[in-house]
Structure 1
Amino acid sequence: MKSIIDKEKLEKLLSELISIYSPYLKEEEMMNYIFGWFRERNLPAEFQRYSEDRILSYKGINVIGRLKGNRPGPVILLNGHADTVEKTSDWSTDPLKAHISNGRLYGLGALDMKAGVAAIMLAIEAFYNNHKEFAGEVIYTIVSDEEGPYGLGTDAVILDGLADDADCAIVTEPSSGFTGAEFPVLCLGARGGYNYTVYLKGKASHAANPEKGINAISEASKLIVELEKSDLVEDDKLGKGDIAVISIEGGGAACSVAELASFTVFRHVVRGETKEYLIKEVHKAAERAGIRAEIKVVFRDSPHSSNDGFMPYVIDEDNHYTTILQNSIEEVTGRKAAIDYFSSIGDFNYLGTRLKIPTFVFGPSGDNFHSSDEYVEIDSAVKTSEVIYNFLEKMLVANNL
């Protein structure tokens, strides 16, 4: 089929996005560029400004647009984040100067996920130019702070009710790149995750007589070893979760057995593994390890109760929207997408569990996200945009309900 998205146009747009440094919590220049890009093309775009004052003292900004049809129909939400992680010092080239080699475009955020954002932008432009009359509506949300601890950009979209009427969502995270499978890959859900700290209180004693005390550091070490042996729930779609200790602290006075220690865990979860379940998991591990110290499990502080963690979710393979999206993928790429499930967390968790709508993760292939020499396979980014365009045509122009 004839390409609806110009490859050189995508390369140019993506290179410009990469040239703007936009680590999470520092995205305003990027959002100004995206806002201007939409407005220059007479596409609807507004700033959504929000703030998180309790923990981060952060003032955030999203770009939101809505293309409204001339008759009732489904409302499709497209979501992508324009922020990245911080650049590292071990790149072989300048991470803010995109370069192309062997069909790959290199640059900070090329895969995660400025290529996905560019795919949304160009699909919206093409749809607007080619279809003045259609059913329903397209909402596009280009958000900030996805890479941060709370996903505040998409959180703000939800809190302000800007996507309450959405019927389904596509998040253009790199589904193929993240799963490591050949493009195209369609993720029908994702694992969730929680961050918690285990505090241990032992008993201090002189280091010459450690047997008189309860060493909180030793207790923490034994608990970690036993916790990592926990029998994890196996989900028939999402697989198993993970227990990853990401920090440990402890100590006391000089020449003394440590009274206090703590360690922090990031726990990826599957369906059925709730916060209550995780607390019990820690206490069961403590029993098995014979822990004598007092223990307390505290989940990380959060701006509000709905973004204290990321809940897992799954979409049925025979869902109406799944079928149509698969058809679009096959028409554009010549093959059905492999079905998979995202192993980590992202804004898609909020959309899938808080809006309670089918939320698909579909995006390009590439590698080295969150590390040096990140790249995206250019053809997969072009096809991602074409799939979005094709899906919008099927849902809103053919009104295939």
Structure 2
Amino acid sequence: MIDFDRVVVDTQKLISIDSQNPGPLEAECADWVTERLRGIGLKPVRMEVEPGRDNVMVTVPGVDPLAPRLVILGHMDTVPIGEGWTYPPLGGVIDDDRIYGRGACDMKAGLALGIGLVEALVQTNTTPRSDVVLIATVDEEAPGMLGAHQLVADGIVRADDQVLAPEPTGMRLRQRQMGLRWAKLIVHGRMAHAGRAHLGIDANHVLAKIVDRLKTTFTALPFEDEILGRSRFTCGTIHGGVATNVVPGRAEAELDLRIVPPLVPEDAVDMLTRTAAQTIAEHPGARFDVELLGARRPPVGAHDDSQIIRGLRAAYAQHAGKQPVVGGADGHEAYTDASMVAALTGSESCTVMGPGATDQAHTADEFVPLADIELGSKLLWSLVQDW
């Protein structure tokens, strides 16, 4: 069995390592993971993605070389700490049966579970049916998701692998993931004295109109997926102007466009471009640019009959006494390393299930419930035993 108490300690230790992205990044975390795995008696391999940024991989060999590998992906980076915390963000404090800290659920508890699994296999002298591969990745929280890209480019993770990212899902099975396209929209107006505002073109105002219309457009889309729900639009950042008394000549916004089938990322970009062009046409002299940010991320999903889905359903039923909830908002709104592997390889055997709730990810006082870690420990062990 996976040692639940040790997973808790490892989660706390991982939280204490500052791996914000952007920020200190993953080097210290990768060093700790490497030494932790060596301490188990394993031989981790480090694979450079960028200078100072290594994916860390370890394999527990299985007895059947033809059996599909189980690949567990756990990213080491976190989003920035931000403000508004009442618990120390790098403290890993346990209170009210929760572990608090940046990355607690997204996803240092999930990574600790993966470490706990390979440790349990070694300590119990258990040889799994297939290879069990744990990979601690870099850059999952950035637009490029460089760690996952490198794994596929180097042939480390393949289309026939059964891939699990134990990201925060509240231990619910997230079988599908929304598509995603990030973009920067830049509006160019004309500066003028605020007292002679009619001589300028207010880039802030034009940008605000475009953003408002995009929100309306996305809300009105007729497509609804039975698991993922509906497409979503978020204006994540907006900047414009140079001074209070100057008509802004330039404004920009970074947009998050999340889509469900049958839409693909190009459809989202087309809606953005058409809406911007129609609005700009109402303001002679203004113009706009669109810059695409990060990787193309189409909607992806795991097939009902894939081994990873069948195995997780059976393990969950064994320990929770019921089938995992799948449907409605229980798809997955976030794009993960598993999602990117699916997008790049065409795989239908990549999924997401792990401790902590998506609602807690990226928040102040982020936490992961101890109960989720305990269930995750039981579930992962059963998954491998029954593989």
Same fold (TM over 0.5): yes
1:141 deviates by 0.5
Residue type of the alignment partner of 2:134: Y
Q: Is 1:191 the equivalent of 2:178?
A: yes
Task: Work out the CA distance in 2 between the residues paired with 1:46 and 1:336.
Answer: 36
Say which SS state the counterpart of residue 91 (structure 2) adopts: coil
Task: Work out the CA distance in 2 between the residues paired with 1:35 and 1:88.
Answer: 28
Listed as ranges, the matches of 1:355-394 within 5 Å are 355-357=345-347, 358-365=349-356, 368-394=360-386
Q: Is 1:148 the equivalent of 2:142?
A: yes
Q: Is 1:75 the equivalent of 2:69?
A: yes
Equivalent position of 2:229 in the other structure: 239
Listed as ranges, the matches of 1:337-352 within 5 Å are 337-339=324-326, 340-352=330-342
Alpha-carbon distance change, 40 to 301 in structure 1, aligned in 2, over 3 angstroms: same
Task: Work out the CA distance in 2 between the residues paired with 1:109 and 1:205.
Answer: 46
Residue type of the alignment partner of 1:281: M
Conserved 8 A contact 1:188-1:361: yes
Instruction: Please identify, of 260-269 and 342-351, the stretch whose mean Cα deviation from structure 2 is larger.
Output: 260-269
Conserved 8 A contact 2:79-2:141: yes
Conserved 8 A contact 2:184-2:293: no
1:95 deviates by 2.5
Conserved 8 A contact 1:196-1:297: no
Instruction: Please identify, of 14-23 and 201-210, the stretch whose mean Cα deviation from structure 2 is larger.
Output: 201-210
Say which SS state the counterpart of residue 130 (structure 2) adopts: strand
Q: Is 1:14 the equivalent of 2:11?
A: yes
Residue type of the alignment partner of 2:319: V
Residue type of the alignment partner of 1:16: K
Alpha-carbon distance change, 333 to 131 in structure 1, aligned in 2, over 3 angstroms: farther
Task: Work out the CA distance in 2 between the residues paired with 1:97 and 1:215.
Answer: 46
Task: Work out the CA distance in 2 between the residues paired with 1:204 and 1:105.
Answer: 51
Equivalent position of 1:39 in the other structure: 38
How many percent of aligned residue pairs carry the same amino acid? 24
Equivalent position of 1:224 in the other structure: 211
Residue type of the alignment partner of 1:359: C
Task: Work out the CA distance in 1 between the residues paired with 2:5 and 2:152.
Answer: 35
Conserved 8 A contact 1:44-1:67: no
Alpha-carbon distance change, 257 to 38 in structure 1, aligned in 2, over 3 angstroms: closer
Residue type of the alignment partner of 2:14: L
TM-score of the superposition, structure 1-length normalised? 0.83
Say which SS state the counterpart of residue 46 (structure 2) adopts: strand
1:296 deviates by 4.1
1:79 deviates by 0.6
Q: Which runs of 5+ in 1 are unaligned?
A: 52-57, 177-183, 303-307, 396-401
Q: Is 1:65 the equivalent of 2:55?
A: no
Instruction: Please identify, of 142-151 and 113-122, the stretch whose mean Cα deviation from structure 2 is larger.
Output: 142-151
Equivalent position of 1:95 in the other structure: 89
TM-score of the superposition, structure 2-length normalised? 0.86
1:66 deviates by 1.4
Task: Work out the CA distance in 2 between the residues paired with 1:327 and 1:368.
Answer: 27
1:148 deviates by 2.4
Q: How many residues align?
A: 374
Alpha-carbon distance change, 34 to 288 in structure 1, aligned in 2, over 3 angstroms: same
What's the RMSD between the two structures over aligned residues? 2.7
Say which SS state the counterpart of residue 173 (structure 2) adopts: strand
Work out which of the residue numbers 279, 304, 307 in structure 2 matches 1:317.
304
Alpha-carbon distance change, 299 to 204 in structure 1, aligned in 2, over 3 angstroms: closer
Instruction: Please identify, of 114-123 and 62-71, the stretch whose mean Cα deviation from structure 2 is larger.
Output: 62-71
Conserved 8 A contact 1:198-1:295: no
Say which SS state the counterpart of residue 331 (structure 1) adopts: helix
Equivalent position of 1:121 in the other structure: 115
Instruction: Please identify, of 129-138 and 375-384, the stretch whose mean Cα deviation from structure 2 is larger.
Output: 129-138
Conserved 8 A contact 2:159-2:345: no
Task: Work out the CA distance in 2 between the residues paired with 1:246 and 1:102.
Answer: 32
Residue type of the alignment partner of 1:12: V
Q: Which runs of 5+ in 2 are unaligned?
A: none
1:275 deviates by 3.9
Per-residue displacement from partner, 1:89-117 (whole Å, max 9, x unpaired)? 53323232222223222222221111111
Say which SS state the counterpart of residue 175 (structure 1) adopts: coil
Residue type of the alignment partner of 1:61: D
